[in-house]
């Protein structure tokens, strides 16, 4: 009997291991299948038709005027005054305001009309046809960001059609040129049309996240800050000199250590830690992870939240020598002049000089302790339930027009009002961008809740 104990124990252990592996594989497959599940067709509502009409207007070629006219016609039909503003021929933004009973504390609903180009030959559906298949609306801009724009527009019209004067101004702004740094859009408007932002205290924009699992939201992230972007060019007399400068700068692409861990970043990482199985411990207390020498174990996107990084272009011929483009992605509170000066010092030994093309920042994080944050959290839970966390989102590599607003004292929040799964997010700036029709309608409902509450109800106390 004794001689069978060891084989029997090994057999039992092996059986337990196989059973555990089968359970793990079943759970992984179940999770993947939940993301790939295609729901049954849904009713096409007037709001969905409006989204389809908007997506069918190709605004990817530095020409937003047709998109602005489309939005203007909708506003005019509801008796809302509007203004189409061209910063350059065809580069159009649309502005409308519902006056409230009091000055100040205005809410800005900001979105952008332009979309990135799409190559039709790579799509399974034409990118500007807004085709519907199995409850999915395919089209460039469905997520970035015509879908959010229609949610905002429906909420804005809801207040306009109520026949009531809101307590506070509600402003709708569809801006040009966001996909090209906003120089002819929000950036231009702040400089040339400051009246648009008169009395604006808060803004709702893109940039948020809705993580989903098994068809349910697991984390609703409200974006409160992004990297600041500076663009420069390096010049040198010879290709070799600029290539040597490039090699010297390459460690700045992926630095080994953090520059600074900002309190808002620490809080954000702590909030998402329970949803990151492999990196839970590291994210739960990132300062401890750094102190323990485990910073290198963090994912690249997480590391960049604590770093000033560079993107380096290739060395190209120029009229007076050679040139190389450099993009700086700075922490929100970083002074761009400081980084530019450091760059000058680093490349000077190679005979290279720095030409500043464009700078931005610093811009503070938007506060989580405001009445609007409390209102958002309340209405999100009313719309979607309470089985998930509402927290912050900080963007590591991407950015949006909120950086212009934050630099002028406006608390801007990135809100994705509808659920979006991981596979759908892959379509943003990519192939087969699409949105689920039923989830889009939930986004319309949430945005209506938020804007109606802000317009007519007393605001929650600050957190």
**Domain boundaries defined on the chain:** 46-206+416-456, 228-358
Q: Is the pLDDT of residue 451 over 90?
A: yes
Per the CB < 8 A criterion, the answer to whether 107 and 201 are in contact is yes
Residue 385 burial (10 A CB sphere; 0-12, 13-18, 19+): exposed
Q: Is the pLDDT of residue 376 over 80?
A: yes
- In this predicted structure, what is the pLDDT of residue 398? 82
HEC per residue, 342-411: HHHHHHHHHCCEEEEEECCCCCCCCCCCCHHHHHHHHHHHHHHCCCCEEEEEECCCCCCCHHHHHCCCCE
Q: Alpha-carbon distance 447 to 443, whole Å?
A: 6
8-22 average pLDDT score: 59
Q: Is the pLDDT of residue 421 over 80?
A: yes
- In this predicted structure, what is the pLDDT of residue 2? 53
Q: Are strands 170-175 and 216-225 parallel, antiparallel or unpaired?
A: unpaired
pLDDT tens, position by position, 231-245: 999 999 999 999 999
Q: In this structure, what token pair is assigned to residue 180? A: 């090209």
Per the CB < 8 A criterion, the answer to whether 168 and 100 are in contact is yes
Q: Is the pLDDT of residue 174 over 70?
A: yes
For 208: left if phi > 0, alpha if psi spans -120 to 50, otherwise beta; the answer is beta
343-363 average pLDDT score: 95
pLDDT tens, position by position, 82-92: 999 999 999 99
Q: Is the pLDDT of residue 31 over 60?
A: no
CATH fourth-level superfamily of 46-206+416-456: Zn peptidases (3.40.630.10)
* Average pLDDT value over all residues in the chain: 92
pLDDT tens, position by position, 63-106: 999 999 999 999 999 999 999 999 999 999 999 999 999 989 99
Q: Is the pLDDT of residue 20 over 60?
A: no
The total of other beta-carbon atoms located within 10 Å of residue 276's CB is: 15
Confidence class of residue 460 from pLDDT cuts 50, 70 and 90?
confident
pLDDT tens, position by position, 427-438: 999 999 999 999
- In this predicted structure, what is the pLDDT of residue 309? 95
Confidence class of residue 13 from pLDDT cuts 50, 70 and 90?
low
* Across 31-45, 171-185, 222-236, 277-291, least confident range: 31-45
Q: What is the dihedral of CA 237, 243, 247, 249, to 10 degrees?
A: 50
Q: Is the pLDDT of residue 22 over 80?
A: no
- In this predicted structure, what is the pLDDT of residue 214? 83
177-187 average pLDDT score: 95
Place of tokens 């450099």: 326
- Tell me if the pTM is above 0.85: yes
What are all long-range contacts of 67-74, with beta carbons under 8 Å and residues at least 24 apart? 67/92, 67/113, 67/114, 67/174, 68/92, 68/93, 68/94, 68/113, 68/174, 68/176, 71/113, 71/149, 71/153, 71/174, 74/50, 74/153, 74/157
Confidence class of residue 212 from pLDDT cuts 50, 70 and 90?
very high
For 165: left if phi > 0, alpha if psi spans -120 to 50, otherwise beta; the answer is beta
- In this predicted structure, what is the pLDDT of residue 24? 53
Length of the chain: 463
pLDDT tens, position by position, 191-208: 999 999 999 999 999 999
- In this predicted structure, what is the pLDDT of residue 81? 97
pLDDT tens, position by position, 383-404: 999 999 999 999 988 889 999 9
User: Is CATH 3.30.70 what the domain over 228-358 is classified as, yes or no?
Assistant: yes
- In this predicted structure, what is the pLDDT of residue 42? 65
- In this predicted structure, what is the pLDDT of residue 440? 97
Residue 23 sits at φ, ψ, to 5 deg, of -65, -45
CA-to-CA separations, 452 to 297, 376, 377, in angstroms, rounded: 45, 12, 15
CA-to-CA separations, 301 to 206, 362, 397, in angstroms, rounded: 19, 21, 7
Tell me the sheet residues that pair with 211.
219
Q: Report the percentage of the chain scoring pLDDT > 70.
A: 90
């Amino acid at each position: 009997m004794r001689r069978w104990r060891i084989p029997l124990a090994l057999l039992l252990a092996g059986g337990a291991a196989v059973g555990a592996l089968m359970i793990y594989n079943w759970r992984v497959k179940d999770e993947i299948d939940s993301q790939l599940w295609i729901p049954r067709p849904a009713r096409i509502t007037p709001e969905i038709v409006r989204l389809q009409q908007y997506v069918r207007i190709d605004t990817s070629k530095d020409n937003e005027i047709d998109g602005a006219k489309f939005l203007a016609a909708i506003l005019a039909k509801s008796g809302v005054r509007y203004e189409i503003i061209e910063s350059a021929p065809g580069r159009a933004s649309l502005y409308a305001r519902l006056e409230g009973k009091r000055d100040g504390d205005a809410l800005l609903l900001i979105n952008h009309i332009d979309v990135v180009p799409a190559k039709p030959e790579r799509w399974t559906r034409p990118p500007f046809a807004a085709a519907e298949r199995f409850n999915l609306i395919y089209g460039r801009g469905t997520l970035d960001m015509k879908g959010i724009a229609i949610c905002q527009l429906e909420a804005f019209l809801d207040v306009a059609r109520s026949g009531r004067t809101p307590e506070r101004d509600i402003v709708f702004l569809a801006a040009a040129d966001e996909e090209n740094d906003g120089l002819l859009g929000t950036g231009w408007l702040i400089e040339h049309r400051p009246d648009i932002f008169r009395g604006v205290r808060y803004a709702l924009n893109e940039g948020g996240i809705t993580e989903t699992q098994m068809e349910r939201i697991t984390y609703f992230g409200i974006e409160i800050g992004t990297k600041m972007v500076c663009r420069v060019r390096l010049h040198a007399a010879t290709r070799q000199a600029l290539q040597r400068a490039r090699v010297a700068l390459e460690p700045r692409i992926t630095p080994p250590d953090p520059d600074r861990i900002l309190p808002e970043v620490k809080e954000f990482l702590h909030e998402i830690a329970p949803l990151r199985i492999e990196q839970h411990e590291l994210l739960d207390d990132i300062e401890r992870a750094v102190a323990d020498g485990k910073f290198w174990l963090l994912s690249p996107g997480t590391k960049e939240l604590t770093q000033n990084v560079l993107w380096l272009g290739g060395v190209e011929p120029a009229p007076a020598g050679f040139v190389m483009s450099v993009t700086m992605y700075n922490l929100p509170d970083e002074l761009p002049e400081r980084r530019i000066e450091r760059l000058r010092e680093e490349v000077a030994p190679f005979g290279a000089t720095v030409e500043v093309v464009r700078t931005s920042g610093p811009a503070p994080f938007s506060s989580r302790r405001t009445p609007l944050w409390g209102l958002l959290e309340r209405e999100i839970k009313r719309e979607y339930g309470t089985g998930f966390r509402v927290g912050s989102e900080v963007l590591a590599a991407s950015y949006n027009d909120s950086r212009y607003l934050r630099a002028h004292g406006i608390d801007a929040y990135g809100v994705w009002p509808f659920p979006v799964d991981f596979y759908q997010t892959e379509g943003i700036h990519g192939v087969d961008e699409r949105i689920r029709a039923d989830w889009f309608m939930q986004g319309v409902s949430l945005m209506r809740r938020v804007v109606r509450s802000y317009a007519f109800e007393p605001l929650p106390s600050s957190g």
